[in-house]
């Protein structure tokens, strides 16, 4: 069944049609959420919230062909909400340095990249993660973030230049 038919069925209250739409892209949704949140639990929370929002608001969707870009935008907004909430929370107990060393084996490169990415501004981080971690094109990133395509390209270019400076590479 094609997307338009499933969206029309979902608009009429067919939960199964909405589930089919979501399940067709479940891995893309999860990867997107994981890139933003950085952990499984928050990613799954964001996905769950996205599904609830989709169910409540599917009737407002005008263009059925835009379902996936619309749903991914909702997911990104939920991930950002979770990250804002996480910043407000204070951990009850801090883990000792030894616990991090135990989990460090095999993660050196990803840790270094993550540490460097954190030194960029949030817009550059977001654009670079979407472009290089999820292989999204500039137009898709622009739609999801609400920025123009030129702005997305600029954020990526400037972010990569800063990363190369941090890592010590030539530009």
Residues 2 and 72 in one domain: yes
Residues 77 and 13 in one domain: yes
The count of other CB atoms within 10 Å of the CB of residue 32 is 25
Residues 80 and 23 in one domain: yes
Q: Is residue 170 part of a domain?
A: no
Place of tokens 């654009």: 127
Residues 83 and 102 in one domain: no
Residues 81 and 106 in one domain: no
Residues 72 and 37 in one domain: yes
Which CATH number is 85's domain given? 1.10.1740.10
pLDDT for the residue numbered 90: 53
Better-scored residue on pLDDT, 10 or 112: 10
Q: Based on the structure, what is the number of domains in the chain?
A: 2
Q: Is residue 47 part of a domain?
A: yes
Residues 30 and 108 in one domain: no
Integer Cα distance of 22 and 62 in angstroms: 18
Which tokens belong to 122? 């949030």
Q: What is the sign, positive or negative, of the torsion defined by CA atoms of 29, 79, 114, 94? A: negative
pLDDT for the residue numbered 1: 65
Residues 8 and 84 in one domain: yes
Which CATH number is 121's domain given? 1.10.10.10
Residues 118 and 141 in one domain: yes
Indicate whether 136 pLDDT > 80: yes
Q: Is residue 10 part of a domain?
A: yes
The residues near 80 (Cβ < 8 Å, ≥ 6 apart) are: 36
Better-scored residue on pLDDT, 60 or 1: 60
pLDDT in tens, 11-57: 999 999 999 999 999 999 999 999 999 889 999 999 999 999 999 99
Residues 11 and 86 in one domain: yes
**pTM score, two decimals?**
0.69
Range of the domain at 113: 98-165
């Amino acid at each position: 069944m094609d997307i338009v038919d499933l969206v029309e069925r979902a608009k009429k209250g067919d939960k199964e049609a909405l589930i089919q739409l979501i399940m067709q892209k479940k891995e893309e949704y999860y990867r997107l959420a994981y890139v933003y949140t950085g952990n499984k639990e928050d990613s799954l929370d964001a996905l769950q919230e996205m599904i609830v929002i989709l169910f409540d608001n599917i009737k407002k969707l005008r263009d059925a062909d835009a379902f996936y870009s619309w749903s991914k935008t909702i997911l990104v907004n939920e991930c950002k909400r979770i990250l804002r909430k996480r910043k407000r929370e204070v951990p009850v107990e801090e883990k000792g340095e030894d616990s991090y060393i135990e989990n460090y084996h095999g993660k050196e490169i990803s840790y270094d990249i993550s540490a460097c990415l954190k030194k960029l501004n949030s817009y550059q981080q977001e654009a670079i993660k979407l472009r290089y971690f999820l292989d999204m094109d500039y137009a898709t990133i622009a739609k999801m973030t609400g920025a123009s395509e030129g702005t997305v390209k600029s954020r990526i270019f400037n972010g990569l230049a800063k990363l190369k400076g941090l890592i010590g590479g030539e530009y």
